[in-house]
Amino acid sequence: MLKKLLGIAPKLESDGSYSPSKLALKLATVQKTDFEHISYPKYKGKKSKILVIFTEQKNLKMQNGKLFSTGNHPVEALLPMLHLKNAGFEFEIATPTGKPVVFEMWAFPEKDDHVKAIYNELKPHLEKPVKLQDFIDASFDTIDEYSSVFIPGGHGAMLGIPEDKNVGKILRWAHDNDLFTITLCHGPGSLLSTTLDNQKFLYEGYNMAVFPDSIDKKTPMIGYLPGQMPYGLSEKLKSLGANLVNTKSDKTVCVDRNLITGASPLASNELGKLAVKVLLKELN
């Protein structure tokens, strides 16, 4: 009751999950982003497609058994995509089984016209995405059409994605064919899929920016998460040989070989700019 009065109690949803408290929303979400509308030179080559892998799941179970109402973070997904779209790239939207993309709509920046515009433009594809297996069957042989794979963040990126063998296949396909992999915040959880079936971690020795476990551990105090995370993502990646370049939830971005990463939602704009800079330089 006291937590409710103070505005730090997570909000109970109709399906039994919890979304962030009023205080957490005030501290950790924005109504308008820091997106910079930049006039890029348009990419006109044949590798104009970017595969975007979204989660289709919503509820992440915490250590205490409570469910966090999550999904893909709209800012982390749509800000980088705005930059890439403005540079001439187009998107193939996919989820593991072809079910609709799930967003953390409580984090949607309602006063940001740029974000709303690309969301509405992509909505038909978000509602009817490609199934990952179908992408593998149809597109692995059309490698020349793709420049990169983008996996947005949001805690939902840790739902089903790290355990999906098709995600691992796609990341290895991208790596082996010199495509770029772009991800941020909790999205690097997808990289764990490369260890399935006792395979060696594909990104051992890579520098990367990832959302810090230390922040995840603190957020239940303000009612952002309804409990402690099932495991620490950054510690897991470090244990596999990744070199983490950030210690804060900030605007840090990083490029190491063909891996482009960002630290948090705050890095979404910077990640988009960096991805465009790298792609235009390497593909032209």
Q: Which residues are catalytic?
A: 185
Instruction: Count the Cβ atoms, other than its own, within 10 Å of residue 269.
Output: 22
229 in Cβ contact with 63 (< 8 Å)? yes
Contacts 24+ apart (CB under 8 A), 29-32: 29/106, 29/107, 29/109, 30/75, 30/109, 30/112, 31/109, 31/110, 31/111, 31/112, 32/109, 32/111, 32/112
Q: Kindly provide the residue ranges of all beta strands, DSSP E only, lying in the chain, ordered along the sequence.
A: 11-12, 18-19, 49-53, 59-61, 67-69, 90-95, 130-131, 146-151, 180-184, 207-208, 243-244, 253-256, 259-262
Question: Which letter, b or e, does each residue of 126-157 get, where b requires 16 or more Cβ atoms within 10 Å of its Cβ?
Answer: beebbbbeebeeebeeeeeebbbbbbbbbbbb
Q: Which helix (H) or strand (E) holds 269?
A: helix 268-283
- Answer yes or no: are the C-beta atoms of 20 and 28 closer than 8 Å: yes
Q: Which are the contacts of 127, defined by CB distance < 8 A and separation ≥ 6? A: 100, 101
Alpha-carbon distance of 121 to 123, in angstroms, equals 6
